[in-house]
Chain A
Amino acid sequence: MRRGRVGSWLVLFLVFVYYLVPMISMTRFAFQRIPVIKLSLGNLFDKWTIAPLIETFKEPEFRSSGLLSVQLAIATAALTLVLLVPTMAVAHLRSKRMRRIIELSSTLPFVVPAIALVVGFAGAFRETLPILIRSPFGLVPLYVITALPFTHRAIENGLAALDLRTLVDASQSLGATWYRTVVFVIVPNIRASIATAAFLALTVVLGEFTIASLLLKNTLPLYLSFARGQNPQGAFAVGLVLILISTIFVASSNRLGKVVRT
């Protein structure tokens, strides 16, 4: 028992080191005005500054790419929820087969490489709907697909925890339309799952590089990649901020889940 506990702590410590050492290195590189070669334990608390972050925030390219990424993230989260919640609710109510198909489809982004997705997307829409290729918002459907493995699982967990059939029947027997049932009965009861799915979609979009790069859209990850050569400290500082935001999103969704359950 005691040996098992020691083993657990050891594993936890190794994981901690594995994740935290690079994070600390990254933080020191980004926020200490000391050349990398001179960074040591002795100067751990010296010359800390947020100047690289402020300088980056002042750059117009950063602001435009950051704004675009935020807009794409919100649009992706919104489209994901609008498409996914009613579809999955109907699948839960009507057909186990439909549920399985949705589940299988949601895992496709794991096996279809981003390059294949972009080539197919561009080939299909270049002639028929060129605005999807031209406009940066053409990325939204692709991001919805990319985030599907995470968003689907979040919504699925919420719906599976409900006695959806009874709630929907009760709502309809009280005179509610399908729209009213979704908005006033289903959504409030899976709000923790919806928040989780939205946060995960935001996180995926804020970190997505390949698709935006292939379709030549100037999103934040692309800017960071470009800026790494010009202003490496600023790029790492923004990267850390993004990691922090993602962590807050995930922690918030967990917290919301707990609040809803109590």
Chain B
Amino acid sequence: MTGKVEFSKVSKSFGAVKALVEFDLSIEEGELVTLLGPSGCGKSTALRVAAGFETPDSGDVSIGGASILAQSANKRGIGMVFQNYSLFPHLTVTQNLEFGMRVRNIAREKRSARVGELLELVRLSGLSDRYPHQISGGQQQRVALARALAVEPRVLLLDEPLSALDATVRIEVREEIRRIQRASGIATIFVTHDQEEALAISDRICVMSNGKIEQVGAPDVVYRSPSTEFVARFVGKVNDIEVEVLSSTKARLRGHKHEIEIASAGNGGGAVGMARLLIRPEDVQIVRPDSARTNVRGTVKTINFGGATTTADIEIDGTTHLVRIADSTRNMQFRVGDPVNVAFDTERALLTRGGAA
């Protein structure tokens, strides 16, 4: 039986280091929530508290409404896939998959049938007799996922399972994990520091910093409407532009006469004075110098071909403002050195008064 997972005001310190501070999060049945943040932000600690490998200083963790803190790790019915290859090196793929079922004294016939199903699920049917060192890293992580699912866990915890894999395999295994998670319908917590991975795989993302939650939301919401400066900087790329706020609707790039609309810029709009505008590359467009849309002038400094998209660095009026601009490759019609005008779509931008990070 799976269930909703709830962290209620969970705190955990290691000496003077506060790894989790009143951590509140709920994960619905069948949902995949990613804990995203830099190293040391507390995301793995949250996972290890849920798994029973760490005891919180305060707070509670429940599955299906019942607290699990009193249960030892081996009684929680939680499946876990680890960052490091965790297959038992002395056992074959089949024996690894059977391990949890043997612990539960499941009959041999049932075990064999389940192993067959799982191998099919992770598409590794031909590798049942191999030892872990005889299969690739990606295959090992797929077996580890199958092994975690073999015991029909109530919750699935994935602790950076892709970080040891190379880029191509990572995407492949990521998609496999998502497909299998959807098929199994188990509440899943996925930990990563890779924002691209989080955006691709999650139903919701929980961005963490210094043991606290910065924002929880669907990937597009977290990306499009970051609620804090940390989220804006950590999830995706962002342009950090110093501006002087002139009114509730107008701002000027620092040291320039160019004015931009800030009517919709979030947080901190209103008060006049110096501020910083955090804006996604795709919310900045370069247009022809004769365009009437904007009077912010710049020069194309570099164009970076990135496959599906191309980015460009724009120096505004030969001074300090460099802006990275995303544009589709097909529409890129400028060259290095071209004079351009730059338009800022500030609807989803964040205006902040804090110091530069």
Interface string of A171-213 (1 = CB under 8 A from B): 1111111001000110011000000000000000000000000
**Chain A residues closer than 8 Å to B75, beta-carbon distance:** 175
Q: Is B79 an interface residue (CB 8 A)?
A: yes
Shortest B18–chain A CB gap in Å is: 22
Is B305 an interface residue when CB atoms closer than 8 A count as contact? no
Of residues 126 to 159 in B, which have CB atoms within 8 Å of A's CB atoms? 144, 147-148, 151, 157
Cβ of A166 and Cβ of B88 under 8 Å apart?
Answer: no
Stretch among B97-105, B184-192, B235-243 lining the A interface: B97-105
Question: Does B298 have its Cβ within 8 Å of any Cβ on chain A?
Answer: no
| A172 near B86: Cβ-Cβ < 8 Å | no
- B339 in the interface (beta carbon within 8 A): no
Assess whether A169 is in contact with B80, with CB atoms less than 8 Å apart.
yes
* Contact among A166, A175, A180 with B82 in the assembled complex (CB-CB below 8 Å): A166
A171, B99: Cα distance in complex, Å: 8
The chain A residue sitting closest to B53, CB to CB, is A169
B84 within 8 A of A: yes
Asked if residues B52 and A172 are in contact (CB atoms below 8 Å), the reply is yes
A214 within 8 Å of B (CB atoms): no
**Partner pick for A174 among B72, B85, B151, B157, CB 8 A cutoff:** B151
B41 to chain A: which residues have CB within 8 Å?
A: none
Question: Across the interface, do B104 and A175 meet the contact criterion of CB distance under 8 Å?
Answer: yes
Give the nearest-CB partner of B89 in chain A.
A189
Contacts of A172 in B (CB 8 A): 52-53, 72-74
Of listed A169, A174, A189, residue having the most chain B CB within 10 A: A174
Most A CB contacts (10 A, CB to CB) among B53, B72, B75, B88 go to B88
Q: A173-B73, A173-B79, A174-B147 are in contact. Are A166 and B84 (CB under 8 A)?
A: yes
Classify the interface of chain A: helix, strand, loop or mixed: helix
Q: A169-B53, A180-B103 are in contact. Are A175 and B86 (CB under 8 A)?
A: no
B90 CB–A CB distance under 8 Å? yes
Q: What total count of A-B pairs have CB within 8 Å?
A: 64
Min C-beta distance of B334 to chain A, whole Å:
50
Chain B residues positioned under 8 Å from A127 (CB to CB): none
- Contact status A175-B100, CB under 8 Å: yes
CB distance from B115 to the nearest CB of A (A): 14
| A261: nearest chain-B partner, CB-CB | B133
Mask, B90-125, CB within 8 Å of A = 1, is 100000000110011000000000000000000000
Interface pair B51/A169, CB less than 8 Å apart: yes
Interface: A170 (CB within 8 A): yes
For the complex, is B206 an interface residue (Cβ under 8 Å from A)? Answer: no
A163 within 8 A of B: yes
Chain A residue with Cβ nearest B88: A185
Residues of A within 8 A of B79 (CB): 173
Residues of B within 8 A of A177 (CB): 74
Whether the Cβ atoms of A170 and B74 lie closer than 8 Å is: no
CB distance from A173 to the nearest CB of B (A): 4
Closest to B133 in A: A262
Cβ contacts under 8 Å, A163 to chain B: 84-86
- A175 lies within 8 A of B88 (CB): no
Indicate whether A67 reaches chain B with its CB closer than 8 angstroms.
no
Bitwise, A140-170 to B at CB < 8 A (1) or not (0) is 0000000000000000000000010011011
CB-based closest 10 A-B pairs: A174-B100, A170-B86, A173-B80, A175-B103, A172-B73, A188-B90, A166-B86, A172-B74, A166-B84, A175-B74
Name B residues whose Cβ lies closer than 8 Å to a Cβ of A: 51-53, 72-75, 77-80, 82, 84-90, 99-100, 103-104, 144, 147-148, 151, 157
Chain A residues close to B by CB (< 8 Å): 163, 166-167, 169-177, 180, 184-185, 188-189
Q: Can you show 17 pairs from A to B with CB atoms below 8 A apart?
A: A163-B85, A169-B73, A169-B80, A170-B80, A170-B82, A170-B144, A170-B147, A172-B52, A172-B72, A172-B73, A173-B79, A173-B80, A174-B100, A175-B75, A176-B74, A176-B99, A189-B89
